[in-house]
Amino acid sequence: MQAAIHEGGQLFAAASLGVGGNSCMTCHRGGGRVDGMLPNGKQIPSLIGAAASFPRYNERAGKVITLGMQVNSCITNGLHGMPLSYDGSKMVALVSYLTALSQEKPIDLQGVK
């Protein structure tokens, strides 16, 4: 598990998932541990605890999405890269890394009590 988390952290920082030299940390600063900023200047919260809120309903998509779907959305829309296979080693590593950032955070399933 530690190896997958480490690999996910490396991928998160690498420019290999997109084009133009950007990485996940272009928007999600500090490895996702601090508040970030989109290219348009909009502030975004840190990713600490974010994985604990998936699956969740995405208003714009009009459906429930998983963490892997969100990762691919960031890769294709934000980094202009190719989506990852949901069961591929890169996706597993990224989801492992993001989930590690949510360690011991409460799960927040929207609308489920």
The rounded distance, in Å, linking the Cα atoms of 31 and 26 is 10
The rounded distance, in Å, linking the Cα atoms of 79 and 109 is 27
Domain ranges of the chain: 2-101
Instruction: Count CB-CB contacts under 10 A for residue 99.
Output: 19
CB 102 within 8 A of CB 51: yes
Span between the terminal Cα atoms of the chain, in Å: 31
Average pLDDT over residues 5-15: 97
Residue 113 reports pLDDT greater than 60: no
CB 96 within 8 A of CB 1: yes
Classify domain 2-101 at the CATH topology level: Cytochrome Bc1 Complex; Chain D, domain 2 (1.10.760)
Residues 11-61 have pLDDT tens digits of: 999 999 999 999 999 999 999 999 999 989 999 999 998 998 899 999 988
Residues 97-112 have pLDDT tens digits of: 999 998 876 666 565 5
- What is the model's pTM? 0.88
